[in-house]
A and B are shown apart, each in its own frame.
Chain A
Amino acid sequence: MLRVTWLPGDDRLRGRCHCGAQAEADEPVAMWEWLLAHPDHPAGGPVSLDPPAARPPAHLVRST
């Protein structure tokens, strides 16, 4: 069982693997990556990979 708890207002997610490993993360993508790496949970904890965007992307629409 993998468990993630979140207290709104606290902003942090707390994850616990069935092996007992625990970590905190800022957002759920990084949290699940870290938990699912079992048994090799990265020692540095969850890392959000999103690079800060220089400029928000345009909303592109496909030509039909």
Chain B
Amino acid sequence: MTGCDPGHKLAGMTTAFVPNQWYVAAYTREIGRELFTRTVCGESILFWRTADGAVTAMSDRCVHRRFPLGEKPSHLVGDTVVCGYHGFTYGADGVCVAVPGQARVPRTARLRTYPVVEQDSFVWVFIGEPERAAATRIPRAPWLDMPGWTVVSGMEPLAARASLLVDNLLDLSHETYLHGGYIGTPEVAETPITTEVDEEAGIVHVSRRMADAACPPFYANSTGLTGRITRWQDIEFTPPCLYLLHSRIAPAGVLPNDDGTDPDAFHVEVVYAITPETASTTHDFWAVARDFALDDQDVSDYLAASNRTVVLQDVAALDVLEQVISGEPDGYQELSINIDTGGLAARRMIARMRG
């Protein structure tokens, strides 16, 4: 017995996740002086900001009779959380500081707390043994909180296991079919890809560089380019959670300068955080950062609405796929072809991290 509250875990779901990793739990803007809960890797977690502005994360179940602390009438009083059922009161460190009707607070009355870090507009939470948090890398998405970039972002709930979203994002040839008329054009599925696995860094790269492609509405309407384009899609996936798509759009034939500067191209950093909620549901965080039309609200509105539409097309497809797969006996059949090279590499890396 550690004497510490074990955290609230949904039954039977611990082995489905990569342990001892940082996961995106929320956007920083979502956490304030109101109690906020989100389930990450099957653990229901309560988030709130102290009066000093620091984010805290602790188990969302009162140790007394399990009332959810994120549920009204539970509430904050200064830097304490008061359980809405019988009034057990907890500090920012999760330790119970007051119980009703008696002066003695049981020593074991404390909530599991979680390491949290705010970085790149995200609140990251460490799921696993807390002493391993400091030495575990938090992958970066700096464009989400950087001068010179404008960002739109959101989060859609996905009723499918996280691995289906990993498969989806690592193989962008599906843009041609599932997202035709938005971000897909014939060239995406037709263009060579190079897949690289950097075992040391724990990163899967998939690169597709279209020299002369049609410009899909998503980029035509945001950049104003009307003709053929050079379109680069360089994926950088750091399992289990953070996916980056470095997207470069330029008039056909326009390449970066030899010194690395690239003044005539439009750069879009598409970021996904793939956070398992339960073994069969996922938080699908998406963000689109751009280095052009920085103050143009119409462009922001357009990119936000379009990307959300595209994400919802994926969500609809993956929700159906989850239903089908979960209804099939274990060990269902698949057939992989060349387009799956990156997805297979990501799966393998995740399986190894899961141990």
Evaluate contact between A61 and B328: CB separation under 8 angstroms: yes
Evaluate contact between B195 and A3: CB separation under 8 angstroms: yes
Evaluate contact between A27 and B337: CB separation under 8 angstroms: yes
Contacts of B338 in A (CB 8 A): 6, 8, 11, 13, 27-28
Report the separation of the CA atoms of residues A9 and B193 in the bound assembly, to the nearest whole angstrom: 12
Per-residue interface assignment for chain B, residues 326 to 352, with 1 indicating a CB less than 8 Å from any chain A CB and 0 otherwise = 011100010011101100110010000
Per-residue interface assignment for chain A, residues 1 to 36, with 1 indicating a CB less than 8 Å from any chain B CB and 0 otherwise = 111111111010100000000000001110110001
Known contacts A13-B338, A29-B344; A57/B333 CB under 8 A: yes
A62 adjacent to chain B (CB < 8 Å): yes
Contacts of B195 in A (CB 8 A): 3-6
Evaluate contact between A5 and B192: CB separation under 8 angstroms: yes
Contacts of A59 in B (CB 8 A): 328
Chain B residues bordering chain A, tally (CB within 8 A): 23
> In angstroms, how far is the closest chain B Cβ from the Cβ of A55?
13
Chain A residues bordering chain B, tally (CB within 8 A): 23
Evaluate contact between B194 and A28: CB separation under 8 angstroms: no
Known contacts A7-B192, A31-B341; A1/B197 CB under 8 A: yes
Residue in B closest to A32 when the chains form the complex, CB atoms: B344
Evaluate contact between B327 and A64: CB separation under 8 angstroms: yes
Given B192, B194, B328, which contacts A3 in the complex, CB threshold below 8 Å? B194
Report the separation of the CA atoms of residues A3 and B192 in the bound assembly, to the nearest whole angstrom: 13
Report the separation of the CA atoms of residues A59 and B336 in the bound assembly, to the nearest whole angstrom: 17
Report the separation of the CA atoms of residues A1 and B345 in the bound assembly, to the nearest whole angstrom: 12
Contacts of A5 in B (CB 8 A): 192-195
B156 adjacent to chain A (CB < 8 Å): no
Evaluate contact between B193 and A6: CB separation under 8 angstroms: yes
Contacts of A4 in B (CB 8 A): 194-196, 341
Report the separation of the CA atoms of residues A61 and B345 in the bound assembly, to the nearest whole angstrom: 29
> In angstroms, how far is the closest chain B Cβ from the Cβ of A61?
5
B258 adjacent to chain A (CB < 8 Å): no
Evaluate contact between A2 and B341: CB separation under 8 angstroms: no
Evaluate contact between A28 and B341: CB separation under 8 angstroms: yes
Evaluate contact between B345 and A32: CB separation under 8 angstroms: yes
Known contacts A28-B341, A60-B328; A3/B333 CB under 8 A: no
Evaluate contact between B336 and A27: CB separation under 8 angstroms: yes
Report the separation of the CA atoms of residues A13 and B198 in the bound assembly, to the nearest whole angstrom: 18
Known contacts A61-B327, A62-B328, A64-B327; A8/B341 CB under 8 A: no
Given A6, A8, A28, A60, which contacts B344 in the complex, CB threshold below 8 Å? A28
Contacts of A11 in B (CB 8 A): 338
* Chain B CB within 10 A, most for which of A1, A3, A27, A28: A28
Contacts of A8 in B (CB 8 A): 189-192, 338
> In angstroms, how far is the closest chain A Cβ from the Cβ of B86?
40
B131 adjacent to chain A (CB < 8 Å): no
Report the separation of the CA atoms of residues A48 and B336 in the bound assembly, to the nearest whole angstrom: 11
Given A28, A36, A57, A60, which contacts B340 in the complex, CB threshold below 8 Å? A28
Report the separation of the CA atoms of residues A62 and B327 in the bound assembly, to the nearest whole angstrom: 5
Return the 10 tightest CB-CB contacts between A and B, nearest first. Answer: A28-B341, A2-B197, A4-B195, A7-B192, A3-B196, A6-B338, A5-B194, A28-B344, A4-B341, A62-B327
**Residues of chain A whose beta carbon lies under 8 Å from any beta carbon of chain B:** 1-9, 11, 13, 27-29, 31-32, 36, 57, 59-62, 64
In the complex, given contacts A1-B196, A27-B336, what are 11 additional A-B residue pairs having Cβ atoms less than 8 angstroms apart? Answer: A1-B198, A2-B197, A3-B196, A6-B338, A6-B341, A8-B191, A13-B338, A28-B337, A59-B328, A60-B328, A64-B327
A sample of 12 cross-chain residue pairs with beta-carbon separation below 8 angstroms, ordered by A number, consists of A2-B196, A3-B195, A3-B197, A4-B194, A6-B338, A8-B190, A27-B336, A27-B337, A28-B336, A28-B340, A59-B328, A64-B327
